Amino acid sequence: MTGQIFISYSRVDTEFVTRLITDLTRQGLNIWMDQRNIGAGQRWDSVIQDALEACDLFMIVLSPHSVESENVLDELSFAINSNKRIIPILLRNCEIPYRIARIQFVNFTRDYQTGFQHLISEITQKAPQRPITAKKQAGKSRSILWLVGIAVGLLCCFALGVGMYMLYPYYFPTDTPRFVTITPYHENIIPTTPPPLIITDTPTPAPPHAPEIKNTFGVQLYDEHQQLIVIQPGEQYTLKIMELWSAPEGAAPSCASGFMALTWIVRDPYPNGGEDLQLLHLIPMGDGRTEVIASGSQGSTSVGYCEEIYLLNNSLQEYRVEIRYASGIYP
């Protein structure tokens, strides 16, 4: 296969995916990965869709985090609806999405090298992707037929019993009354009022603030600030350290001496948001290219005085991010 390969994964599995892409690239394969192929200023959703439409093969890394990621499931649905060839990669045991449960996966849960050789053979083979074995399918079919037969039998028995009960008085009359007479309502009987229904709401815990700043170098930090930033889906927010940096007179920084200690947290949605938030570093003399410093719903880092970084929202929902920062001079 010489066409483009799209790989879909959770950010939590980035270490494995980076190793896998490096090894596949050495085999002469053209791999598309969002963190490598989306440049600064590009529309995240448009670039993803273009890559999905252009790819000849769709690989999905299956793990407990990826099968719960809305972005991963959206990419999988697009690949299925576009009739793309799909190869599932099982990184950690999880509940495989129903729509690809019958596609044979490549198992990386035991040994990386064995899984990698299996993956290469699956990529290069020209036969259509193989479903689960016929033996397993037949076993499942027989089990389903047994369950359907038992359900139909129980339903017939129930219907027969109800019919016999209803027809019994007509064919076997008796003087014994079949129904208990209900005492009519009397004026002296005071009906009881049921107690009122009390519904209690369990309040959602308020999200914490950005983590405390880690004083990595053990020097004095100046002018600590907190700031709440709203970032739309696919948008990146620029942080120019020189514009944020401040300190008392006499502590003037330079590109070699000044730095900014920074922490962040995604406050909304909380606590299940922020998986696709990235902190990017603008590469000096890199023609606008960036590299990922950190990612996730919260974290901390230190950046130089002359550097420029971005907060990139790679999700499909709005993020409200709180940052905490303070200025410092390298010891």
Q: What is the CATH number of domain 221-329?
A: 2.60.120.10
In whole angstroms, what is the distance from residue 91 CA to residue 16 CA? 9
Give start and end residues of each alpha helix (H) in the chain.
14-26, 34-37, 44-54, 70-81, 112-124, 134-171, 241-244
What's residue 182's pLDDT?
A: 45
The C-alpha angle with vertex 53 and arms to 50 and 54, in degrees rounded to 5, equals 85
The helix/strand/coil state of 99 is: helix
274 φ/ψ angles, rounded to the nearest 5 degrees: 100, 0
Number of Cα atoms under 13 Å in the Cβ half of residue 268: 9
Domain 4-124 class in CATH: alpha beta
**What would the two tokens of residue 243 be?**
């514009």
**Pairwise CA distance, residues 234 & 325, whole Å:** 24
Mean pLDDT of successive 10-residue stretches along the chain, which has 331 residues: 85 95 94 74 79 94 96 95 96 94 93 95 71 41 69 82 68 49 48 58 69 82 87 88 78 79 87 80 74 86 85 86 88 79
Beta bridge partners of 86: 58
Ordered by start, the domain boundaries in the chain are 4-124, 221-329
The string of pLDDT tens digits covering residues 70-106 is 999 999 999 999 999 999 999 999 999 999 998 999 9
Task: Give the HSE-up count for residue 194: Cα atoms under 13 Å, Cβ half-sphere.
Answer: 3
Spatial distance between the Cα atoms of 85 and 123, rounded to a whole number of angstroms = 10
- Residue 205 is predicted with a pLDDT of 63
Sign of CA dihedral 105, 111, 116, 118: negative
Report the pLDDT value the prediction gives residue 31, as an integer from 0 to 100.
Answer: 93
Helix (H, G, I), strand (E, B) or coil at 125: coil
- β-strands 4-8, 30-32 pairing: parallel
Per DSSP, the chain holds a count of helices (H) and strands (E) of 7, 13
**How buried is residue 103: exposed, middle or buried, by Cβ count under 10 Å (0-12/13-18/19+)?**
middle
Contact at 8 Å (CB) between 325 and 225?
A: yes
Residue 44, both tokens: 């995240």
Instruction: Please report, as a single letter, which amino acid is at residue 256.
Output: A
Per-residue confidence (pLDDT) for residue 41, from 0 to 100 = 56
pTM given for the model: 0.40
Same fold, 4-124 and 221-329: no
Q: What does the pLDDT read at residue 203?
A: 59
SS3 for 91? coil
Q: Which two tokens stand for residue 112?
A: 């990386």
DSSP string, 284-329: TTSTT-EEEEEESSEEEEEEETT-EEEEEE-SSS-EEEEEEEEEEE
Task: Identify residue 297 by its one-letter amino acid code.
Answer: S
